[in-house]
Amino acid sequence: FIRNVSYAIRLNDLLLVQDEASIWRSVGGHAGRTFKITARTNLWQHLKPLAKLLRSKQPLHYTLQGELATGLLIHQDLHISRSGEIIPGDHIPE
């Protein structure tokens, strides 16, 4: 069982969202399962630094870090991490 997920999403050094959610999902041994959670951020508070990053036209590094709290009787935390780059010009209409 997955009981809880906590996560943080960063764009370069800018923390866009950090939250946790109680999800209670079952995943069989050696199996995979996809589920959705809602991540909310207030971009207004990040508007100036975000605009500066987008104007730089340099690749932006993103990271997603999370921790899954698993188990019912025996608890174990699983750590997840994903990262990559976004090219700002690829997402701005001309």
Q: What is the pLDDT of residues 6-52, one digit of tens each?
A: 999 999 989 999 999 988 888 888 888 888 888 888 888 888 888 88
d(CA 6, CA 15): 14
| Residue 92 predicted with pLDDT over 60 | no
Q: What is the pLDDT of residues 47-76, one digit of tens each?
A: 888 888 878 778 899 999 999 998 888 888
The dihedral sign for the CA sequence 23, 27, 31, 33: negative
Supply the pLDDT for residue 91. Answer: 54
Burial label, 5 (beta-carbon count in 10 A; 0-12, 13-18, 19+): buried
CATH of domain 2-91: 2.60.40.1820
Supply the pLDDT for residue 65. Answer: 96
Supply the pLDDT for residue 90. Answer: 60
| Residue 94 predicted with pLDDT over 70 | no
For the chain, the domains span 2-91
d(CA 48, CA 25): 38
